[in-house]
Amino acid sequence: MTHELRAIDARSPQAVMVALRAALSGGPAINPRIDDSWPVDLPAEVEKRVAVVIETSGSTGQAKRVALSAGALLSGAAAADAALSGPGQWVLALPGHYVAGLNVLVRSIAAETEPALLPVGHFDPQAFLDAAARLTHAARYTSLVPAQLGRVLDLAEADRAGQRILGRFDAVLVGGQATPAALLSRAEKAGVRVVRTYGSSETSGGCVYDGVPVGQTLAAVVDGQLELSGPTLAEYYLRDPARTEAAFVEREGRRWYRTGDAGSVGPDGRVTVIGRLDDVIISGGEKVSLGVVERAVRELPGFADAVVVRAPSERWGEVPVVVAVAPPIDLGALRAAVTSVVGRSAAPDRLVVVDSIPLLPSGKPDRAQLARLA
């Protein structure tokens, strides 16, 4: 059975919320978009079990259309409520065509509370604090990306009233990318309870809070890749069976999503995310292919087995790091050699020397372990 799929202009959060409420109750499915266009390859109908289609781009930039059921989205809302301080009132500061923004609306609908909606577009930290001050529910939440949190803290640190408003949030969820330790420290000093979230559109948004899987989420690592399972998983990628088959696998009767991230799961179940398994990073605003850097490094005498991995940088976002055994030259010479071949933005930030390169059973370098070293 199928039903209608409607494109909804996410520039109007109110319109998204009205359409979303109907979709979660079995009405027409929605595809929130940042414009009012209708792509020629977007079907007019989808399977009845699909409530929302989220369009997202992976690290390759190739668009994905993630089909989510009402059950998956509401399971995510219930898991969040259980992990936080129960149902509450939210400030929507993220666009509704992203899963994190959509989830603010889903959780508001589930809690039967009215969210404070910010205009879509340029983020105004003062408007955010003003919206937060209007919340009346006993439990108060918002969801931000690190850059937004930084701007709000800039304002609140200079304004005691703003700091009090921030401190009234039961949780400020922060996700979308790694959150710098310095930013977390600032938030703690300001009395802001930050909860770091991890997830994706394929998991109905964040399903790991501060390293702990929430609700019925399970985490595992297979061949160095982090996999997630639970009731919040997407149905499939719309009209893309090959990508669906590659991303979603079944083992022993349980369905898993292969995240594409390197990570680990500790004995206590705590999840650590190391970084993408693909080889593209954004360093100083520029895309850098770790594979290209690695090929250039391996052309140098004495670096035939060297491996290039990513590492976080508070200044540049992420940087390439070279791991090698007994390198014949120092970092300065290595940076100069790489720059001459692939450009300045690809110059390695560090050179890590090891006794041997750890390998997977397949014989390939264990990039997850090397990333931890870096």
Q: How confident is the model over 266-283, as a mean pLDDT?
A: 85
One-letter amino acid identity for 178? A
Instruction: Give 147's DSSP letter.
Output: H
- Segment 295-323 shows an average pLDDT of 89
Q: Is 80 exceeded by the pLDDT of residue 297?
A: yes
Q: What is the dihedral of CA 160, 161, 163, 168, to 10 degrees?
A: 140
Query: For residue 126, what are its two tokens?
Result: 């003062």
Strand partners, 64: 56
Residue 280 has pLDDT above 90, yes or no: no
Lowest mean pLDDT among 49-58, 96-105, 172-181, 300-309: 172-181
CB atoms under 10 Å from CB of 223, counted, come to 13
Report the 10 Å Cβ neighbour count for 363.
Answer: 6
Contact criterion met (CB below 8 Å) for 347 and 335: yes
Give the integer Cα–Cα distance in Å for 141 and 358: 43
**pLDDT tens-digit map of 137-178:** 999 999 998 878 989 999 999 888 999 999 999 999 998 666
Is 61 a residue whose pLDDT tops 60? no
Residue range 77-102: mean pLDDT, rounded: 96
Rounded-to-integer distance, Cα 168 and Cα 15, Å = 28
Per-residue pLDDT at 155: 94
pLDDT at site 178: 61
CB 299 within 8 A of CB 342: no
Reported confidence tier of residue 57, pLDDT bands at 50, 70, 90 = low
What is the maximum span of the chain, computed from C-alpha positions, in angstroms?
Answer: 66
pLDDT over threshold 80, residue 362: no
Higher-pLDDT residue of 208 and 179 is 208
Distances (CA, A) of 298 to 191, 303, 332, 341: 48, 5, 16, 12
Give the model's pLDDT for residue 60.
40
Average pLDDT, the chain: 91
What pLDDT does residue 62 have? 60
